Structure formats: C-alpha cells, structure tokens
Chains A and B, each alone.
Chain A
C-alpha cells in the first residue's frame, strides 16, 4: 500500500506536532494572555488588559539577578570542568578504559538529584566541610545557603550534560588533522587552539545551551542549597503561583524569563558562529 508523501509527513510529524501544540504552544499562549491580566480578589486570574504586572517586575529583581548571574556562571564553570575531562576521555585515555570511564560520568544520575542535593546540604552544612576547614585552622566558613553552594550544586548536577556533547565532538575529530598541524609547524598548544577547539565548538554550543536553558528554569537546587536566600526565577514562580496565588504576575515573570532566554541563546549562537567562521588565529597571540 502506497502512502502519499503528504500522508507520510503527517504521520511522521503528527504525534510531535500534537504534543507540542497541546502542551507547549497552548499553555504559552495562556500564560501570555494571563500576563496582561490581574490578580482576582481571592487569588488566581482576573481578565484585564494592563501592563501593570510587567511594570511591577522590579519587585522581583533579586530572582532575576540570581538567575542571570548563576545560570551563566554555572554554565561556564561546568564548561571549564567538562572540557578538559571530555578531552581526556576522547583523546588521551587508553580506548580500553574509555567506556568504563564514560559510565562513571553518568553513574551519579542513577540516584535522584533530590537525594544527591541532600548529600550536598550535609557536605556544605555546618558539620561538613566548614568544620573540616575550621579544624585545619583555615578559618570560619559559611557555605550552605550561599550563592557558592547553589553554584556547586548546579555544576555538580549538570556536569554530565556538558561532558557528553563536548566528548562526542572531540571524539569524532580526525586526529590526523592534529598531525597535519604539527607537520606544518604548529606546536601542540597552538594546534589545540587553531584546530581542536574550533572543531569542538558545536559540542560546546550544544552542551552549554542544554545546561544554560535548564539552569534558567532551575528550581530544586536553589531551593535546597540556597535555603530561601539564593532563589531563582523558578523559586519566585512557585511562590507566586502556589503561595500568593498571583497568577497574572507569575505569568508576566514567566514570559519575561522565556524572552530573556531567547535573547541570550540567540546572542550566544551568533557569538559562536562568529568565532567558528573566524580565522584560525583567534585566541592566539
């Protein structure tokens, strides 16, 4: 039985299309409409057309600030840790051990992030690392419920998501290109900057997008390791929708978050494209 091209396309895209329409486009449209509304007297949503919610965003500035500082910082920190690790796994390690080591990278995922975050509460809490530091005479440290704790938590949680895309791009890099670079007179560090790095940028882009977008919406880790002091937009949203029941204001915040993400991602992609297309002497004196 022949299926027409048209039907085939419908069959292929239908399920995903329905899914996205029902669970993404529609809710987003609702949120967008709500963001111009008001809080009903008893909480929830009352129809209106006002920009009042957007005008009020400044009252939640701290949540935006934390998110916009810690999400990029977490992404960057994850990248700085993941890149050398991925490089080691893809280029340096004896292939015999590679699979085993890759499995080790994802082993933490076998335990719920909730449980692992509890572990961090202990480690960073009063009786954990600070005690150790104090006993060693290294001074009095308060770690838990600080931006640092949240940063540690998010980097720890999202590291594998950065390692894998970078690993894949480095692994498929043709090693003969590095030999060619050496043959043409490039010392190892220069061939890294001129050949390895530019050719691994797609992996870097994928990894950092993945981590950054997830971090922008992060809720659990700031909740647990920030102790209500270091909260993200996600925490503010939970508060607005579930506690103060101000759906209109919550919607305005959500819309702003999504818009910010779009802007940042677009800028970042442009930036990567530019270095990707740039000469090979980027980053080299």
Chain B
C-alpha cells in the first residue's frame, strides 16, 4: 500500500486516531473539554491555540501520559482505555526534548527498539539507528554525548528517537519553540519532507499560527480547552468560524453590521456608517440580523483619489500609524464611526499612493465579496 497522497484523497484515508467526547480536568481546571476529532492516516494535523488552551493535554492523552476524565481515545480503531504509555503505538517528541543525558546519541535513538519484546537483534537495532540518524542528517554523531550537541541537533536526535520506532502517529509538542527563527524555518521544511517520505501521521502542537498554516493539512484550532474550528489552513484563514478564529489566525478587522439581504451564500450588509458591502455568509441569515463582519487587512485597499470603482465600497479614514514590514506596509487608520481599521498595503501598491502619510485622510476600498459574516460566540 502506498502512503496516501496529500490533498483531496485524504478524506478517504482511514481514521488513525480519534477523540470521542474526551474531557480532561485537573481539579477545577478543565484543560480539555469534550474534544471530538478524527485524525486520518498520513495527515499532518496541528493543534493550534494560545498557551494554556489545552493543546499539550490533548497530545498527552493520545500518548497515554494523561488519562481522560471522561470520553475515549481511539488509536487505529482500538479503544485505548487505560492503556499505559508504554503500550501505545505512538511516539512523542517532547517540548524540551527530554533526551537521556547518560546515554550517547545512538543509545538515545535506539532506546525504543531496545524495549521491544521479544528482543530485537542488536545488529538490526544498530542498522535502524544508523538509518534514523541518517534521516535527520546526524550520521556521524552516534557516539556523541547529548551535552555535546547544539539545541538544533538535540531536536533532531529527539526526532530520530521517535521515528525510529515507526509509530502509527508521531506527536510533536512545540518542537520548534526553542529554536531561533532561521533554524525554525529550516526545521519546518525538514519536518514536512520527512513526513512525506515516511508517510507517518504527524500531530503537531504549536501556538505559532504561521507554523500551523504553513505546515498542516488540517488545523484544529483550540481555545480555553475546546475545539473552536477544524479545517484546512485555507478554511481557517478564509472562513474563520468566529471572532476568536478570525483574530487568532492572521489578523482581521472586525466590524458590526446589519444584514440587508441574502442570496447564494452571500449577504449584503450595512456597516455602522451606512455604507453597504457584499460579504460571504455561511449560516442562515435574515434581513435585519445584527452580525459581526471580519475582513483581512490585505483584502482592503487604499486610494488617494476619490473615485470608487464599481464593485467596491469606499469610506474615508485618517492614517494614524504606518509600519514598514518588508513585503508590505501595515497601515492603521481611524474612521469616526467604524473605529480603527488595519490595511496592509503591498510594496508595489505603495507607489500609487503619493502622499499617503500619517495624518492624511485617504479612501479605504472594500471589494465586494471580501470579508465574511462570523458565527456567534
């Protein structure tokens, strides 16, 4: 059987791990509340959310390091029940790596294989350890001691120590958090290609939305112990379920509006200043409903002329801040009724905006179809 390809076929891949109404409480703290999630074989899924939202807890319940207070965990169709960590076919890359300081790199990597009963042949262990070290590009480092390795190298040792066991699911708890930006970028690429080569299901925990967006097939966005939204990175970015999702994944302008009319998943809404725009609308909305609208800063445009092309709505606002961020310029504007707006102006577009400096009043253009109505809560 070949590893499932990424993309559309994934929905057909069998479920490899599943949370069923899984809840974990620590005393009064509800770390994870009624999680329901199916993870498919070969997919790269990320748990995304701010610190303390229960990502690690969810991962640890899969690994068997925490027991759910309620609900179930299934791995490859089997109810894990109270199965202890050492009997589960998953492996974890720990947040601070947790490498054994009294063993060499090779001994660390071979640890899981040495636990197999009946015992695995020593030569076979050595062979697989070599191959795993090669995979993470640490071929010559086997005899080294852990403290002789840099942070990035230790991270790869931790990775090799997990993948050498060919787990059904590889769990990664913020594996890149301790690396500097450049190394983190490289490691993200490496992880991705590794996952493609190995065809193992990866579950990554991260609080970094950029990391989740760039690496995942699907993202499970969490907030305060609950799953807020599950979907592809594009789903989450283009169709955030609610205010929280819109604000956490990327940034968004959020505005109050009143529905005027609806048709074919689109809605015409009136903003607080009276101007009206067409936005995407997923749920059932009726004229007169008060709703929240989100629009991405890069979906808005600025103009120094007063002409508004057909298919766009425009309103005047005053530039209060301009921040140069390389590929784009982040502009904060103030509108007397709508409040603060953020517009990201691409580098090339800046040239067509002479004199658009702080203090200047310009036109903000909102193309019809940009933005969407957010779900409740």
Contacts and interface: CB of A to CB of B under 8 A. Distances in A.
B84 A198 contact: no
B102 A185 contact: no
Interface in B81-108: 84-87, 90-92, 94, 96, 98-103, 107
A239 interface: no
Contacts of A185: 86-87, 112, 115-116, 165
B63 interface: yes
Contacts of B87: 185
B84 A184 contact: no
B107 A183 contact: no
B63 A183 contact: yes
A5 interface: no
B100 A177 contact: yes
A102 interface: no
A40 to B, nearest CB: 57
Interface residues of A, number: 21
A194 to B, nearest CB: 8
B65 interface: yes
A25 interface: no
Nearest to A201: B102
Contacts of A276: 102
Given A176-B94, A199-B102, A280-B100, A181 B111 contact: yes
A195 B100 contact: yes
Nearest to A278: B102
Interface string B53-95: 0000000000111000000000000000000111100111010
B94 A184 contact: no
Contact of B85 (A177, A182, A194): A182
A182 B107 contact: no
Contact of A176 (B64, B85, B96, B102): B96
B24 interface: no
Contacts of B86: 182-187
Contact of A183 (B91, B102, B116): B91
Contacts of B102: 195, 198-199, 276, 280
B235 to A, nearest CB: 32
A179 B98 contact: yes
Interface string A210-251: 000000000000000000000000000000000000000000
Contact of B65 (A179, A184, A186): A179
Most chain A CB inside 10 Å of its own CB: which residue of B63, B101, B107: B101
B92 A183 contact: yes
A194 B101 CA distance: 12
B107 to A, nearest CB: 7
A199 B98 CA distance: 14
A13 B90 CA distance: 55
A183 B173 CA distance: 13
A184 B63 CA distance: 10
A180 B165 contact: no
A135 interface: no
A184 B107 CA distance: 13
B207 interface: no
B137 interface: no
Most chain B CB inside 10 Å of its own CB: which residue of A174, A182, A198: A182
Contacts of B96: 176
Interface string B97-132: 011111100010001101110000000000000000
Contacts, number: 66
Given A179-B85, A280-B114, A184 B161 contact: yes
A177 B65 CA distance: 12
Contacts of A176: 94, 96, 98
A217 to B, nearest CB: 33
A184 B88 CA distance: 9
A88 B319 CA distance: 64
Interface in A142-186: 174, 176-177, 179-186
Contacts of A179: 65, 85, 94, 98
Contacts of B115: 184-186, 190
A186 B85 CA distance: 9
Contacts of A279: 107
A199 B107 CA distance: 15
Contact of B111 (A174, A184, A198, A199): A184
A182 B84 contact: yes
Contacts of B94: 176, 179-180
A187 B87 CA distance: 8
A140 interface: no
Interface in A240-285: 276, 279-281
A193 to B, nearest CB: 12
A190 B85 CA distance: 13
A281 B114 CA distance: 9
Interface in B145-159: none
Nearest to A277: B102
Given A190-B115, A281-B114, A183 B85 contact: yes
A262 to B, nearest CB: 28
4 A-B pairs with least C-beta separation: A185-B115, A184-B112, A182-B85, A180-B98
Interface of A: 174, 176-177, 179-187, 190, 194-195, 198-199, 276, 279-281
5 contacts: A176-B94, A179-B85, A182-B86, A184-B161, A195-B102
Given A183-B64, A195-B102, 18 more contacts: A174-B98, A176-B96, A176-B98, A179-B85, A179-B94, A180-B94, A180-B99, A182-B84, A183-B85, A184-B91, A185-B87, A186-B86, A186-B115, A195-B100, A198-B102, A199-B101, A280-B103, A281-B114
